[in-house]
Structure 1
């Protein structure tokens, strides 16, 4: 399914321009040579109103326009270092000290899960075979499902997030069509779970705007939201001069107060979310690059009796966030997802009660098509931001389709200045061959690990010891590819992805393209890579699970992988959907042949972090059966999770918990 999605998106985006709402002619990518990227604090309500209205007029009242859609994935998430020395697993996160929302949270005694079928929280005792303790329905707007949970065990506080938006298939989220997100709201529910069987709602915070993503650091919840002003009577796609004129009149008549986002506490009166002192406006050379959305980065003190939000905003766009313990970066891609794309970055420091805007920068390329993997393209280390972007298929082998940049904040100019890049004049070797896409990316200390793929899976190790002069330390080619890289101690990486067989490359062959990348994707592949010597990595062991059609939720989101470190042994669990049943008895053994679904299961193994020795553990099979048509075609496996608590493993399959 993921392969199909990526091919469809690649074909669609190669034919589609970035949707601006009011016209996309004469687009130019935002880069260092195409206009100022500085955003400045609005000097007055009048300036903020003029800027926002100018953006709306550019988008909806400048020229006759017919609908053009830019399709992109928009889920939510990010990933983690190996587990800590405790008795139960926690959510797999990108940074160990930055928590992320997910549908399963546990304190070792109780397991809280969000339902995939209704806006409710299911509560289970961490006792093998114990039935659900309780189900807590959450009164969300329009019965929207919950998008994630946070658990503060020491405060007996469970936070549930919800967005008032349809749960569409990610491909059709229309992320780059601002009007699609008008009138959306984000809800934050704070529950007292001191008595797990009887949660009590303490407070509810409602914010104007669609939730982009969230993070929790200590007692502070950070929310990135996107609010698009909604104006009654506005024609989204004006088709004649009369409609353009009407749109201009409606925009000019709207007040700033009506266009800005608001918030409510416990359903009370609406209050302004931002004052003019909190908001920034830009000065771009190409006005049609401006979006009409108001991006908010909001901090909520979870110890606050009222959950009063505080933050800063700017008029523009954002599609993902990356958070370290010190800063949050909001990123968005401008123009189509092709070799003319550029990615704009805004940095906000977290050294006070309110996120503080620090600077803006831009790099060529985009962050990929899979929303959950985008944050992994970024990392902050010693106050330097490292970012990997994809610039498309290049026929010139000297020009890499993948570029790594390092940036540092310039306090004098409020900018993020590029320190170095790779490839460069000193190190011109490409990061990826022509036509290869980026798959997995992982930054660990002063190293970057990048996986690209076409016919084989090159793993590139980049040395970032000197951020101004990054260089490729080594390249390892193995079959298949990894969607996600998980550190196993200091000497190993576990790659999770797919095996692949090279397509027939003869000129007259009908399968020369394979799945579109010169190879046929097969079953799920786990690859343990020895990285103890950065100049000579090697694949220590590989495990192939299932046949063509098999998949793992860990390729969709890193939250699906569970790990727990016990001494030198790292226990791992990941859900699989296995396809290895032939469609008919004499089915030919061909790499292009798909297999029928057989079962969904939780696959388990342990890895010695010192020796790399792998031991497989007993699987836990789901209750889905091949003779049940509903389960046979189900896509619920993408939401499966697990938890390891003491000596028991709990498998969240759909809305049920199975333990062994």
Structure 2
């Protein structure tokens, strides 16, 4: 769906153009400056749109005016927001990387043996791969642990190569991977800290994302295909077919501010006026992100604006100074240089993707920095109890189009709170009470894309009064499962077949809660979370539950397993969960803590454990079939479970911070095989 060109937006666009257009041609890179300051254009730039959520910028002048006018609302004698430092208090921006399917295509390995059947990253949507810290094609395992990209040969259990990231030594580090046939995509971060002169400072920290593509046709000799460096931090990456979609958030890159020379009122007034002048003198290059194309050694081949100014829009309500970008590139081309993109002057921290939509949610915590009276604009006294949602059309592999925006009351648990089908969004939210005498509650809200706005069509309120959402799973277009918790675990089954009238079909209350839900057969649902005291809500350890949901009106818990003092990363990261339907097995990384003092005590006798527990799951059956420690034999007191598990052929592999372990699927015999220091 193209951007709206509705006539109701023309007055705003005209006002912005009056204040921002330059009479001289734009220099390369979009280095546009404003002419004389136009206060009417500035007022328009900080005013909510009367109709709709979306406005385009016809040129860089209008976009620059929008950035400047909103920044002036935040200026104090001590800089934008009044802190005199970066958002995290250190002058460096905080990275927020959030995070399936078989990689497909030609497998890496050249003349190596035929790849074994293998598991893949556990993902939210079938056919939409998610970046992760480990990938396999059945012949090799690629990891990013220890800040290094290592390629491990499955047959020989050895590291056969290491992929070197381009960039400045000791400043770039890999974080996540995608694997498409023999092409590896590495996503990393690069740090830097500029130091302006003349008593000035940068109110926003520096963040860089480095993306490289690597040919692993010969795993022992990786070959760099292409690399780019992008201003900003990436929130998440998805891959659909040959196309990678990245969501980036970039703080203003070149805006400078100053502080008073002393504690006098006159010095404060002078500093505030100086800061306003610094904002008014900025160019478009000080606000928008840029991309550098790198050679194989990290040398810069070109630098240009990441998005054209007419590819960046504003939402209905001004939402800060960050620029959110949804970028695309074709893995099959071998180059990670973005081929299409769409931007929004807003932030975002939660990313959901289907095969034809990317939805980016801006949390109340992030909005909290940007709304409220000018003095309190970065950190208002009251939290913002809403979430903004922005949808992007990715149905065309060669295009990325901003479609619509809207808001829901409350906050989201994670990407699992979102779902999209045929232009209809389902959103599960929890609303915190504004006052101590009021109660939290949750809702499931249905929204539909209508022109450039997400319009509510129906909702279910009153879910888990006094509680918080702990898990969501959209089991089909007509059914959603929502778990809330405070002392007991209500599992709600919500019929969403009618977007105008969703309704709770059934409910079940049990002790504890599920933090992750996974369908394990027609009408059966596995929950992984925490056991809890029914009267106090105090958690007691890891719990796995099997639910019979064949009768939506009367869901039942048919089996439950608990591990006292236990925890699994599955509770917070779905990518740590592995289901292997071929054998009916589920694998959970498990860490069990012990209160026993370890001096002179065998860890096994203390009750502490770090490893994997295997579950046999079937229709109506759930049992533990075995557990194995996954730490190195040389460290018998190792009690931390692994981060990931994988099935390759007849073996279970586990990835910990320092290496890989390998076990026979049937017997769980095996142990530590590869060091990854």
TM-score by length of 1: 0.78
Q: Is the 8 A contact 1:37 1:361 kept in 2?
A: no
Does the alignment pair 1:256 with 2:284? Answer: yes
Give the secondary-structure state (helix, strand or coil) at the position aligned to 1:533.
coil
Any gaps of 5 or more consecutive residues in structure 2?
1-47, 103-115, 193-201, 295-299, 370-381, 600-604, 664-677
Q: Quote how far apart the aligned CAs of 1:110 are.
A: 1.2
- 3-state secondary structure, aligned to 2:416: helix
| Partners of 2:132 and 2:178 within 8 A in 1 | yes
Q: C-alpha deviations, 1:41-71, integer Å up to 9, x for none?
A: 1122211010011122223348886549799
Counterpart check, 1:553 vs 2:569: yes
- With over 3 angstroms needed to count, the CA separation of the structure-2 counterparts of 1:447 and 1:70, relative to structure 1, is farther
Show the counterpart of 1:388: 428
2:189 counterpart residue number: 163
Selected match of 2:630 from 622, 627, 637: 622
1:10 corresponds to which residue? none
1:164 Cα deviation from its structure 2 partner: 2.1
Is 2:253 aligned against 1:230? yes
Q: Are 2:415 and 1:375 equivalent residues in the alignment?
A: yes
CA, structure 1 residues 269+75, in 2 after alignment: closer, same or farther (shift >3 Å)?
closer
List per-residue Cα deviations over 1:583-637 (Å, max 9, x = no partner).
Answer: 499xxxxxxxxx97712101112312xx2323433323122689778x56xxx75
User: How far 1:126 moved relative to its partner?
Assistant: 2.3
1:280-359 alignment to 2 at 5 Å?
Answer: 280-284=313-317, 290-309=319-338, 310-334=340-364, 335-336=367-368, 340-352=384-396, 353-359=398-404
Query: Counterpart in 2 of 1:42?
Result: 57
Q: Secondary structure at the match of 2:70?
A: helix
Output one character per residue of 1:257-279: Cα deviation in whole Å (capped at 9) or x when no partner.
Answer: 34321111123120121112211
1:612 aligned residue: 620
* SS class of match (2:345): strand
Residue 159 to residue 469, structure 1, CA distance change in 2 (3 Å): same
User: Deviation per CA, 1:252-309, whole angstroms, max 9, x where unpaired?
Assistant: 111113432111112312012111221112343xx5xx31111111111112354331
Residue 136 of structure 1 deviates from its aligned partner by 3.0
Contact 1:339 1:393 in 2 (8 A): no
Match of 1:540 in 2: 558
Alignment length (residue pairs): 555
Equivalent of 2:179 in 151, 157, 172 = 151
Q: 1:501 to 1:104 in 2, by over 3 A?
A: same
| SS of corresponding position for 2:66 | helix
Cα separation, 2, equivalents of 1:388 and 1:601: 33
Distance 1:500 1:485 in 2: 17
Q: Which residue matches 1:509? A: none
Q: Which of 605, 612, 631 is matched with 1:602 structurally?
A: 612
Query: Relative to structure 1, is the Cα distance of residues 36 and 339 closer, same or farther in structure 2, using a 3 angstrom cutoff?
Result: farther
> Cα distance 1:458–1:113, how it changes in 2: closer, same or farther (>3 A)?
same
SS state at 1:87 partner? coil
Contact residue 515 and residue 527 of structure 2 kept, 8 A = yes
- Displacement of 1:185: 1.2
Range moving further from structure 2, 521-530 or 348-357: 348-357
Distance 1:584 1:652 in 2: 25
Using the alignment, how far apart are the partners of 1:244 and 1:36 within structure 2?
34
Distance in 2, matches of 1:398 and 1:581, equals: 38
Instruction: Measure the CA separation in 2 of the matches of 1:140 and 1:183.
Output: 15
What's the counterpart of residue 487 of structure 2?
455
Greater shift in the superposed pair: 70-79 or 47-56: 70-79
Tell me what 1:111 maps to.
141
2:457 counterpart residue number: 419
1:60, 1:237 within 8 Å by CA — same for their partners in 2?
Answer: no
In structure 2, the CA distance between the partners of 1:70 and 1:443, relative to structure 1 (3 Å rule), is farther
Answer yes or no: is the 8 Å Cα contact 1:112–1:124 preserved in 2. Answer: yes
> SS in structure 2 opposite 1:343?
strand
Tell me if structure 1 keeps the 8 A contact 2:254–2:285.
no
Q: Distance in 1 between matches of 2:400 and 2:556?
A: 42
Q: Distance in 2 between matches of 1:388 and 1:397?
A: 24
- Map residues 197-236 of structure 1 onto 2, 5 A cutoff: 197-231=220-254, 233-235=256-258
Among residues 650, 654, 677, which one is paired with 1:651 in the alignment?
Answer: 654
1:93-121 superposed Cα distances (whole Å, 9 cap, x missing partner): 00011100001111111111112x22x21
Deviation of the 1:551 alpha carbon: 1.1
Return the alpha-carbon distance in structure 2 between the equivalents of residues 312 and 237 of structure 1.
39
Q: Is the 8 A contact 1:265 1:307 kept in 2?
A: no
User: Of residues 518, 522, 534 in structure 2, which corresponds to 1:486?
Assistant: 518
Counterpart for residue 137 of structure 1: 164
Q: Do the aligned partners of 2:518 and 2:526 also contact (CA within 8 Å) in 1?
A: yes
Task: Give the CA deviation at 1:224.
Answer: 0.8
- Matches of 2:191 and 2:607 in 1, distance apart? 31
8 A Cα contact 2:591 2:610, kept in partner:
yes
When structure 1 is superposed on structure 2, of 246-255 and 355-364 the one drifting more is 246-255
Task: Please give the per-residue CA displacement for 1:548-588, whole angstroms capped at 9, x wherever unaligned.
Answer: 3x21111121111112221xx43211211112453499xxx
Per-residue deviation, 1:392? 1.2
Moved more, 179-188 or 392-401: 392-401
Of the two, which has the highest radius of gyration? 2
Shift of 1:655: 3.2
CA distance in 2, matches of 1:480, 1:433: 16
Change (3 A) 1:584 1:622: closer
**In structure 2, C-alpha distance between the alignment counterparts of 1:574 and 1:278, rounded to whole Å:** 44
Alignment-derived partner of residue 105 in structure 2:
none
Compute the RMSD of aligned alpha carbons. Answer: 3.2
1:571 aligned partner = 585
